[in-house]
Amino acid sequence: MRSPWIWWRYGRRQLYPWLVLITAGWQLLVQCGIERDRAAIRWMLTLVKIDGVKLTEFLNDLIW
């Protein structure tokens, strides 16, 4: 019974940075003022959290 919850938590952790990038990117397009600045900061902080090495390896596996 615990297995589905473990996979749910793992999946949520893997998708969370991408969901934040989508929402922050949208806010960068439509907001102005201090809200836009906060969205830009959120965007940059999320980019730092994404592991670039793993992403590059994944894309390399998709190509080859």
Helical segments of the chain, H only:
2-30, 34-49, 52-63
Give the number of other Cβ atoms within 10 Å of residue 39's Cβ.
19
Q: What is the pLDDT of residue 30?
A: 93
Q: How many distinct structural domains can be found in the chain?
A: 1
Cα separation, 10 vs 23, whole angstroms:
21
Q: What is the pLDDT of residue 1?
A: 56
Handedness of CA 43, 48, 50, 56 (dihedral sign): positive
What are the tens digits of pLDDT across the range 7-53? 778 777 778 888 888 888 899 899 999 999 998 998 888 888 877 78
**28 is in which domain, residue-wise?**
2-63
Task: Determine the length of the chain.
Answer: 64
Q: Predicted confidence band at 2 (pLDDT cuts at 50, 70, 90)?
A: low
Nearest to 38 by CA among 28, 23, 50, 49: 28
pTM over 0.85: no
